[in-house]
Amino acid sequence: MNLVKTDIPTTYDPHSVENKWYAFWEKNGFFHTEVNPEQEPFCIVMPPPNVTGQLHMGHALDNTLQDILTRWKRMKGYNTLWLPGTDHAGIATQARVEEQLAKEGLSRHDLGREEFLKRVWAWKEKYGNRITTQLRRLGASCDWQRERFTMDEGCSEAVLEVFIKLFQRGLIYRDYYITNWCPKCHTTISDIEVEHLERPGHLYYFKYPFKDGSGHVVIATTRPETMLGDVAVAVHPDDGRYKEMVGKTLILPLVGREMPVIADEYVDPSFGTGAVKITPAHDPNDFEVGARHNLPQVKVIDREGRMSEEAGPRYQGLDRYECRKKIVRDLEAGGYLLKTEDHVHAVGHCYRCNTVIEPMLSKQWFVRMKPLAEPAIEAVKEGRIRFIPERFAKIYLNWMENIRDWCISRQLWWGHRIPVWYCGDCGEMTVSKKAVTHCAKCGSAEVEQDPDVLDTWFSSALWPFSTLGWPKKTLDLAYYYPNSVLVTGRDIIFFWVARMIFSGLAFMNDVPFREVFIHGLVLDALGRKMSKSLGNGVDPIDVIESHGADSLRFMLITGNTPGNDLRFHFERLDGARNFANKLWNASRFVLMNLEDFDPEGRPGPYSLADRWIISRLQAAIAGVSRYLEAYELGEAARVLYDFIWSEFCDWYIELAKPRLYGKTTPEDRYTAQHVLSSVLKCTLELLHPFMPFITEEIWQHLPGRGVTIMKAPWPAARSELVDTEAEKEMELLMEVTKAIRHIRSEMNVSPGRKADALLSVPDGAVRAVLEKGREYIQGLANARLKIFPVLDEAPEQAAHAVIRGIELFVPLKGLIDVEKEIARLQKELAVTEKELARVRGKLANPGFLAKAPAEVIEKEKAREEELSGKQAAVRERLGMLAGKKK
């Protein structure tokens, strides 16, 4: 017999429970899976966190969502693989190691490339498992035996294979183009690695004179230092102000360079003066304009963020911001500066080091995107990939339909080195998987590999299939590809999701996943993005230490709707912990009353309360399952919260107590035990994907358990157990009980005083239900129930309520001192009205409304609403008591 273990501690200690059960799960290989053709597969690949990283709230949300889906599908009987891994994070990892070297007074150039890379690998081995350790603390049930790394042998082979195939198809090329350059990290960076931050600056208005002396054109710019690289001024072809000027020649101030006025539809006539300086070497839009008009490219800022030789001897070597100040002074001295305006604009910063990025012309490797984008667009339009929520499909399609070529080279040493060799004698270029020692064209040994490495996103774009063994034809690849679903944040749709889609189609001839489940960002309580610069980040590990992983997970899920951002409130976190404690205490009560319970026995006839809770459990099972299928995980959590907190804990357990404690038959006691244990067990199984640790701990104490709750079958709703009649009857009894409780609370009746409750019930069927549930109401409301078909005369000094045509009277005489209660309420009303007047005075003050932050104003408005409601309630109680004094 599977005995009940009732030795559950008085209080719930998340730390001991979480450490114990995660070690148990992992040691026993419960996360691991192998190919099984007899089972339907379910596969998720984890968006690989940076090997340098540590868990942040975005990771916590993303991996909680994945873990819920994985645990749920595992319980549903799928062959479930959640494949974890980490990204080599080229820029970040190299920067970390270079920081260490700097403390030793060294640079990577002092070590040389080979020795430096040895240092990086050693760093990775020492620190690279930090984030995977933290994911374990969150409860992530990934198959750690299959953990991958973007630079492990298999993934690296896949990267080389893809580069060579794309090159052979003419989809990879090398050319000059504008890229995002970080002067501190000394590399190009991708668009996602640029944070656009609003910064105060200036808009400078300069005049550029015509060569023939006929006047000038006024331009406005936020970056005067780039004017040294200007090669034209552009106007919109339909702008009547400038039609006569198109084709004329201007003289660039301070430089003397002749340059044309050109017409191009890129220009926004409403911005500035409607005339735009064109600097093809330092602005991506200007580069496109320059290409259309065959303009020269003058590069005046170098890779250190200093002015180059082409900036002229007067400015060469100056920092770009020092140069800005000097140019403004020089233009003012020359009579070219007309005015300066304050101007707030978005400035791109490197998200690694916070340096302002420099758009810069350089020779880089690119992927030609349009041929790859076309099938990726069709895959979504045809429904082969479904976005959840659907609105993100439009965002994806809009970007893909306007896609630009992808710069894939990075000026780093850590990463997948570009597999291209150049001959120093004849200039021949060789693309090869294997190292090239001699030129295939001239036989020279003077060959050198391209020094750059590939963008980190290049390897992660292959993640859905490289992690399963591609380019080898493995059993895993055939079984688990395409993946079932991708779970990721809305902020990387373009930079990762899109790249995985076109890569999967290009190399696997199929989509990489069937569905894309998009979630929002975790913001702070004020709705701001969490960041180091704001100092508003919340460390998930600190939260796990203070509240437990289950509380963090449940807080992140409840109130969370697909695709929408989530605000982090510590009050909500406390609420999740309270929920865990409520479940723990209720479970402890159940277990303490199961010491003599034989799980192999048979229950007797079910009571009304038994039938009701069993029926409500079927509704909970159906609701949770339905919401999970729709990826409405927050709604699934809400259903569980309501069922556990209210229906099971607050109602059913209380209704079951008389059969456990009171004068009852053994059969009644056993039936109550049976329903309590079976409903609790099923509830824990429903809750397990959301709160894995506490559910495992409690489940292990229950009868009928298996080895682990992880392997328990997912509950299925049983239609024959749905009892709508019992639900209707219990709903009526609960409403009457709540009405009596409300009156007792409002009238300040001592909880220990038993009250009379008189019910006038004209409807015979309703009276029968109330008679049947008399004991329930009397026990839960601490009342003596008296039921009449008609009450001829209302009792004196009685509080009154109406529920579904039932008149309820609670005589107050003898329960409270009416005079004292009136005095107490009058005092409470005075305090309330004084505070309400203060709040309304603030909200009527124009100065307060103009200066106070929006969140403070909203808080005061909420306070006004709260006080106004309290005022009305107290007045109502006073009116009732005043009318009953006699």
Q: What is the distance between the alpha carbons of residues 577 and 14, in angstroms, rounded to a whole number? A: 10
In sequence order, the β-bridge partners of residue 189 are 180
Whether the CB-CB separation of 182 and 438 falls below 8 Å is answered with no
Q: State how far the Cα of 2 lies from the Cα of 5, in Å rounded to an integer.
A: 9
532 is in an annotated binding site: yes
Alpha-helical runs (H) found in 294-390: 320-333, 370-381
For the residues of 754-790, what is the DSSP string, one character each?
A: -EEEEEE---HHHHHHHHHTHHHHHHHHTEEEEEES-
Phi and psi torsions of 249, nearest 5°:
-110, 135
The CA-atom distances, in angstroms, between 686 and each of 467, 691, 712 are 31, 10, 10
Question: What are the C-alpha distances in Å from 560 to residues 145, 605, 680?
Answer: 31, 41, 26
Three-point CA angle 158, 162, 165, nearest 5°: 135
Q: If we measure between CA atoms, which residue out of 84, 82, 86 comes closest to residue 128?
A: 86
Amino acid at 726: A
Strand duo 337-350 + 453-454: pairing = unpaired
DSSP 713: P
Assigned token pair, 516: 């894309």
Which residue's entry shows tokens 């192998």? 34
Six token digits for residue 518: 């998009």
Give the separation between CA 856 and CA 845, rounded to whole angstroms. 14
* CB-based contact 880:743 (threshold 8 Å): no
- Are 263 and 320 in contact, with CB atoms under 8 Å apart? no
Q: HSE of 78 in the Cβ direction (CA atoms, 13 Å)?
A: 17
For residues 419 and 423, what is the distance between their CA atoms, to the nearest angstrom? 14
* Interacting residues of 859 by C-beta distance below 8 A, sequence separation 6+: none
Peptide bond just before 603 cis, omega within 30 deg: no
| Cis amide prior to 482 (ω within 30 degrees) | yes
Only one residue has tokens 């357990």, namely 653
List the beta bridge partners of residue 568: none
Other CB atoms within 10 Å distance of the CB of residue 858: 11
Annotated binding-site residue numbers for ATP: 532
Annotated binding-site residue numbers: 532
